[in-house]
């Protein structure tokens, strides 16, 4: 019997699900390498590598081999995937009999798709079905993708914003923007550096985003975090406000509105009316940002739908696809 797996090689995390078992792996999309005389050697991967992220250690470099929806380092992407598969006891002898459902951005080029196929082939997986993340998210959110009434789904992940209009099991139109949660982390670091003259780490920026990030102008939350003073170069602390986070990330919100507006504007009147009547479903890690629903509703003048499990929509959709052959057939055929 063929084993069916689902893989989301996201910019932040690699998630693997297995038929009848659910999520069997969720690790950071990170590789850590050590510099040696003639190049680099592997230090560690996944969650272990995340401990080195943002640390200024001279001989260690930590990075994501897949970023902004595309494979940027094929060799290290292969190493990372092999190590993670081995960690859950999925050996090469099993992999050549696997059917893999692979999540990809909706706007991925043919060359970029081929790199994903090559990655899967490099670990002995030959049977690969690629499904856009917005479609997987829709399934995870219990949207009837086969209905004759168009739905717009926007998946905001760690590296990309995936936007797609779905109708009768098809993606009517879609696009991908290479911005995501990690872009916000870098923007927060840069903003704090300019405003306060101090440097914070990417992990600290991520914690600020998650702990006091808010789209409410009246939010007075603050958080004191460690930093390095750019003048004295001494370790210090700085108090960051929710309003700082809003200022630092406002460009990102503008881009979300822009891509949604552009998508709706490209639709025929009938399909556009469906979308506006049904509301816009927001999924992905950033969907849980405080005030996002109200903010988008005010800007887009339509209903915004964000469920309690919106941040896990892709994962939940993958679980359904690996366990429902009829649903998978519909997706593949269309």
Phi first, then psi: give them for residue 243, nearest 5 degrees.
-65, -35
Position 36 in a domain:
no
Phi first, then psi: give them for residue 76, nearest 5 degrees.
-75, -25
Statement to judge: residues 109 and 177 lie in one domain: no
Statement to judge: residues 276 and 320 lie in one domain: no
Number of domains, the chain: 2
| DSSP output for 196-225 | HSEE--HHHHHHHHHHH-B--TT---EEEE
Position 231 in a domain:
yes
Is residue 247 within 8 A of residue 217, CB to CB? The reply is: no
What span, in angstroms and rounded, lies between the C-alpha atoms of 135 and 153?
Answer: 8
Statement to judge: residues 251 and 285 lie in one domain: yes
Statement to judge: residues 195 and 245 lie in one domain: yes
Statement to judge: residues 215 and 280 lie in one domain: yes
Position 93 in a domain:
yes
Q: Is 47 left (phi over 0), alpha (psi -120 to 50) or beta?
A: alpha
H-type alpha helices, 127-170 = 133-140
Tens-digit pLDDT profile for the chain (334 aa)?
688 999 999 888 999 999 999 999 999 999 999 998 888 899 999 999 998 887 767 789 999 999 888 999 999 999 999 999 999 988 888 888 899 999 999 989 999 999 999 999 999 999 999 999 999 999 999 999 999 999 999 999 888 999 999 999 889 999 898 888 888 889 999 999 999 999 998 889 989 998 999 999 889 999 999 999 999 999 999 999 999 999 999 999 999 999 999 999 999 999 999 999 999 999 998 898 899 999 999 999 999 999 999 999 999 999 999 999 999 888 887 6
Statement to judge: residues 25 and 68 lie in one domain: yes
* β partners of residue 67: 70
Statement to judge: residues 156 and 302 lie in one domain: yes
Statement to judge: residues 20 and 92 lie in one domain: yes
Position 37 in a domain:
no
What span, in angstroms and rounded, lies between the C-alpha atoms of 69 and 103?
Answer: 10
CATH number, domain containing residue 8: 3.30.420.40
Domain that holds residue 85: 3-29+64-135+314-333
- This prediction has a pTM of 0.90
């Amino acid at each position: 019997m063929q084993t069916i797996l689902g893989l989301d090689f996201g910019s932040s995390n690699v998630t693997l699900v297995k038929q009848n078992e659910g999520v069997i792996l969720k690790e950071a999309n990170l590789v850590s390498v050590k510099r040696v005389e003639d190049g680099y050697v592997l230090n560690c991967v996944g969650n272990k590598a995340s401990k080195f992220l943002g640390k200024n250690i001279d001989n260690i470099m930590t990075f994501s081999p897949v970023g902004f929806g595309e494979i940027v380092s094929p060799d290290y992407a292969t190493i990372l995937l092999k190590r993670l598969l081995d960690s859950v006891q999925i050996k090469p002898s099993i992999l050549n009999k696997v059917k893999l459902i692979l999540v990809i951005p909706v706007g991925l080029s043919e060359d970029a798709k081929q790199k994903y196929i090559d990655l899967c082939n490099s670990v002995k997986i030959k049977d690969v079905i690629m499904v856009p993340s917005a479609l997987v998210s829709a399934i995870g959110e219990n949207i009837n993708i086969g209905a004759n009434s168009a739905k717009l789904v926007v998946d905001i992940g760690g590296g990309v914003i995936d936007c797609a209009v779905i109708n009768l099991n098809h993606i009517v139109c879609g696009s991908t923007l290479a911005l995501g949660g990690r872009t916000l982390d870098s923007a927060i670091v840069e903003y704090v550096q300019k405003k306060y003259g101090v440097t914070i780490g990417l992990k600290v920026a991520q914690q600020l985003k998650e702990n006091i990030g808010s789209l409410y102008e009246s939010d007075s939350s603050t958080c004191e975090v460690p930093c390095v003073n750019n003048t004295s170069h001494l370790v210090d602390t700085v108090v960051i406000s929710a309003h700082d986070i809003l200022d630092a990330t406002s460009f990102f919100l503008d881009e979300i509105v822009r891509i949604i507006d552009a998508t709706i504007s490209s639709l025929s009147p009938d399909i556009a009316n469906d979308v506006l009547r049904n509301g816009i479903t927001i999924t992905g890690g950033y969907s849980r940002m405080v005030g996002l629903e109200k903010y988008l509703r005010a800007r887009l003048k339509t209903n915004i739908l964000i469920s309690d499990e919106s941040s896990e929509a892709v994962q939940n959709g993958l679980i359904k696809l690996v366990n429902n052959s009829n649903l998978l057939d519909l997706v593949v055929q269309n």
